Amino acid sequence: MTKIEKVGSFESKITVYVVVCWVLAACGGLMFGYDIGISGGVTAMDDFLIKFFPAVYQRKLRAKEDNYCKYDNQYLQLFTSSLYLAALVSSFAASKMCSKLGRKPTIFVASAFFLCGSLLSAAAQRIWMIILARVLLGVGVGFGNEAVPLFLSEIAPVQHRGAVNILFQLFITIGILFANLVNYGASKIHPWGWRLSLGLASLPAAFLFVGSVVIIETPASLVERNQESQGRSTLKKIRGVEDVDAEFEQIKMACEAAREVKDPFKRLMKRSSMPPLIIGVMMQVFQQFTGINAIMFYAPVLFQTVGFKNDASLLSSVITGLVNVFSTLVSIYGVDRVGRRKLLLQACVQMFISQTAIGAILLVHLKGSNSLDEGLAGLVVVLVCLFVMSFAWSWGPLGWLIPSETFPLEIRTSGFACAVSSNMLFTFIIAQAFLSMMCHMRAFIFFFFAAWIVAMGLFVLFLLPETKNVPIDAMVERVWKQHPVWKRFMDDYDGKEDVKNVGMII
Ligand code: BGC
C-alpha cells in the first residue's frame, strides 16, 4: 500500500487490491496478444498445413517456385482473419452489455468464449471446426477489448490513468511473446505441436476467467445502473481512503449527463462529436496501416521468405516479440513526460526508414526463387526489430489510449466502441490481404506501408492535438475548442464539462 496521493480534490492510495484488479483485467490483453502471435507460427507448421491446407503444403514443397507467393491462400488467411471479423461484430454487442449489465460480466463472457474457442481449436479435426473455433475466440476478443480498457480507465486513479491504460498494451505484447515462445517449442513436436500452440490459449483465458470472478465492478458502472451505495463503497475500497466525496460526486454528475443522452450513437453523429470520432477512428486505422500485423501475424512466414529455415524464423519472431515487450515499457515511462505527439512523430520517422530499407533490400536482392545471404537476412531482422520497437512505444499503446481519453463522457463508450471496431476491421483487412498483397506487390508492399506512414505523420503534425496533462473532462474546453482546425466543429456543442474537481491526467 502506498501513501495517499492528492490530485485536485481526489484522494487515493494504490492498494494491493486495486493492483490485483488491474493485472487480472489486463489478462484480456494477454488473450488478444496470444492470438495475434500464435497464428503466424501455426500457419508455418507443416503438420498443421498437411492436416488443413494440403494445397498450401504442396506449394511450399515446391518452394523454389516463388518466394513471394508460396503462402498465398485465401483459406489460410481466413484462418487468421476470421477471428477479427467476429471481434468486429461482437464489439457492438459488447458495448451494449457493458452499459446494461456492467464491465465485470462482459469480461466474464469474454473469457468463457475464449476458453471454448481455445479448446475447440486444439481438438479440431476439420477445417470448419478450426474456423468456428476462431470465431469463438474472436467473440472473446471483441468482448474483452471493449470492456478491459474501459474497466482499467475507470478504476485507475486519475493521475495514473495513462500508465494503467498502457498496461493493456503491455499485456498484449507479453501475450504475443508467450505465443512466439510456445510456437518455437511446439514446432518441434510432431505431428501435434500445433494443437499445443492453439490449446495453450486456454491459459490466458483461464487467468481472465478467474480474474472476472475476483475483480470488482467499476463505481461508474454501478452508479450508471442505479446502485449508488454500492458504487460509493466500491470507490472507497479501490481508492483505499474514506473520503471519496469529490470523486463520487463527479461520477454521479457524469452519469446523470450521460443518462440524458438517450441514443449515444446518434449523438456521435453531431458535428461537435466529429473531432474525437475522427481522431479515435483514424488512430486505429493508421495503427493497422503501419503494417505492424503483417509482421506480428506473418513474421515467421516473412522470415522464411527471406531464406531462414523454420527454426531460425520462429526464433527471429521470438526476438521481435522481446523487443515489442521491452519497448512498451519505454512508452509507460515516456508518454506523460514527452507527450503523445512527439512519440508518434518520432516513431513515424523510424518506421518509415525501416520499412523502406526492408523494401529496398528485398527489391534488389530477393528475386522469385533465391534466398538472401546470411548477412542481409540478419539485417532484415534488425530492421524489423527497429520497426517493432518504434511501434511499441507509440502507435501501439497510443492507438488505445488516445481514443479512450478524448471523447466527452456522454459519448465515451459508444465512441470507444467505434474505435475498437475500426481496429478489428483493419486488422481483419491486413490479416486477410497481406499474403496476397505480398504475392502481387512483392517487395513494393513495404513501400506501400511506408507511404501510409508518411500520411499518418502529416495527420499527427496538423490534426492531432496534444492531450498530455489535460484533465479527461476538460478536453472540449482545453483541446477541441482551442485547436486551429477542430474548433470550427465545436459550435453545436451543448454538453457540460466539470473542470472544478478534476485532477490532471498523466
Ligand atoms: C495492436 C495490435 C498489434 C499489437 C502489437 C496492438 O496495439 O492493436 O494489432 O498486433 O499492438 O503489439
What integer pLDDT is reported at residue 504 of this predicted model?
44
Which of 328, 406, 466 is closest to 153 using CA atoms?
406
Ligand 1 nearest-atom number relative to CA 392? 12
3-state helix, strand, coil in the chain (%, to 5): 80, 0, 20
| pTM (two decimals) | 0.91
In angstroms, the CA 300 to CA 180 distance is 9
In angstroms, the CA 472 to CA 250 distance is 12
What integer pLDDT is reported at residue 506 of this predicted model?
35
User: For residue 93, is pLDDT > 70?
Assistant: yes
What integer pLDDT is reported at residue 64 of this predicted model?
57
Give the highest mean pLDDT range of 253-262, 374-383, 459-468: 459-468
In angstroms, the CA 232 to CA 217 distance is 12
Provide the angle, in degrees to the nearest 10, between the axes of the packed helices 245-260 and 228-239.
130
Peptide bond into 191 cis (omega under 30): yes
The alpha carbon of 242 and the centre of ligand 1 are apart by a number of angstroms equal to 39
- The one-letter code for the residue type at 452 is W
Residue-averaged pLDDT of the chain: 89
- The one-letter code for the residue type at 38 is I
Residue with cell 471481434: 87
The residues with which 5 forms a beta bridge, in sequence order, are 12
Choose between 377 and 291: higher pLDDT. Answer: 291
CB-based contacts of 107, cutoff 8 Å, min separation 6: 25, 28, 143, 144, 147, 148, 151, 208, 211, 212, 215
Atom 8 in ligand 1: which residue has the minimum CA distance? 396
User: For residue 72, is pLDDT > 90?
Assistant: no
Q: How many other C-beta atoms can be found within 10 angstroms of the C-beta atom of residue 249?
A: 14
Query: DSSP assignment of 211-239, as one string?
Result: HHHHSPPPHHHHHHTT-HHHHHHHHHHHH
The alpha carbon of 255 and the centre of ligand 1 are apart by a number of angstroms equal to 31
Task: Decide if 83 contacts 35 (C-beta within 8 A).
Answer: yes
Choose between 494 and 457: higher pLDDT. Answer: 457
Ligand 1 nearest-atom number relative to CA 169? 7
Which of 372, 255, 245, 243 is closest to 302 using CA atoms?
372
Q: For residue 243, give the C-alpha cell.
A: 473520503
Residue 498 zone, left/alpha/beta (φ > 0; ψ -120 to 50; rest): beta
Which of 204, 155, 162, 209 is closest to 179 using CA atoms?
204
Q: How confident is the model at residue 39 (pLDDT cuts 50, 70, 90)?
A: confident
Residue with cell 478524448: 406
In angstroms, the CA 147 to CA 104 distance is 8
Task: Show the DSSP H helices in 393-489 as ranges.
Answer: 395-406, 412-441, 444-463, 475
Query: Mean of the pLDDT values across residues 129-142?
Result: 96
Query: Mean of the pLDDT values across residues 62-78?
Result: 71
Candidates 30, 31, 35, 36: which one to mutate for ligand 1, based on the most atoms within 8 Å of Cβ?
A: 36
Atom 7 in ligand 1: which residue has the minimum CA distance? 396
Q: For residue 215, give the C-alpha cell.
A: 475483480
Q: Is residue 145 within 6 Å of ligand 1 at its C-beta?
A: no
Atom 4 in ligand 1: which residue has the minimum CA distance? 396
Length of the chain (residues): 506
What integer pLDDT is reported at residue 263 of this predicted model?
86
Q: What angle do CA 276, 282, 283 make, to 5 degrees?
A: 85
Q: Is residue 36 within 6 Å of ligand 1 at its C-beta?
A: yes
Query: Mean of the pLDDT values across residues 36-58?
Result: 89
Fold of 15-215+261-469: Growth Hormone; Chain: A; (1.20.1250)
Atom 12 in ligand 1: which residue has the minimum CA distance? 173
The alpha carbon of 246 and the centre of ligand 1 are apart by a number of angstroms equal to 36
Atom 6 in ligand 1: which residue has the minimum CA distance? 396
Which of 386, 319, 322 is closest to 354 using CA atoms?
386
Residue 389 belongs to what H/E stretch?
A: helix 374-392
pLDDT tens per residue, range 253-299: 878 877 888 888 899 999 999 999 999 999 999 999 999 988 887 77
Query: Mean of the pLDDT values across residues 473-482?
Result: 87
Which of 165, 174, 177, 178 is closest to 397 using CA atoms?
165
The alpha carbon of 84 and the centre of ligand 1 are apart by a number of angstroms equal to 12
Q: What are the phi and psi torsion angles at 211 (to 5°)? A: -55, -45
The fraction of the chain above a pLDDT of 70, given in percent, is 95
Which of 436, 197, 203 is closest to 301 using CA atoms?
436
